[in-house]
Amino acid sequence: MKKIFFILSVSFLLNNTAFADDVSIKVENLINCKSDIDDYTDFAYNLSDETIGFKSYNWVQEDSGTPFFNQYRLPKPINISGFDASTVILSGSGIFALLSDVDAAKVAQTEGIKNSIPSKADLVKSLGLTAEQAKEIPENNLFSGQKIIKDVVIKEKDIGRVHTTITRHIENKAAFPNKTLVGCTYSIDMPDL
């Protein structure tokens, strides 16, 4: 009897470890824009389900400090852009890793993503400000950049055109001091409806 219990216990632990590894791989792929819209939709649906939900992944919901983000602590870190992340953020159609003490600009540079927020020097130049006027503009350490990974329009028989876009995002926000958000959004638009 003890042998059967031991075998069942080991089998249960291996299955749960495999499940956790599968979830980690799926989350890494979603965050790194290596999944498709259907994968994201299924994942987001399961995550929000009361019976399946984030608890089945052994995630712990945390207060993000803003109603626009759902924040979860992972049971073990995942690797995103060469950095360990223990926290993920879900927002609308996107999933992001929250990287601590990582410079958004350096991560973005490795992926060929440029900052869409003008620097102080860019503002001074574009506005034609004098050196005296430039002193009044504070330094800008914010970063927000994106790159479209996949942009497809297909024609569906019953509903017309379906436009899907998968976009890589790298940014920092005032809501998350000393953190960088790295992730992906998965969007669907049906312009003919």
Beta-carbon contacts of 80 under 8 Å, excluding residues fewer than 6 positions away, are 28, 31, 32, 97, 99, 182
Give residue 14's domain range. Answer: 2-189
* pLDDT at res. 50: 64
* pLDDT at res. 10: 31
| Per-residue pLDDT tens listing for the chain (193 residues) | 444 333 333 333 333 444 445 777 789 999 999 999 999 988 888 887 766 788 888 889 898 888 888 899 999 999 998 999 999 999 888 999 999 999 999 999 999 999 998 887 887 888 888 888 878 777 767 899 999 999 999 888 888 888 999 999 999 987 788 899 999 999 989 877 6
Model pTM greater than 0.85?
A: no
Tally of domains in the chain: 1
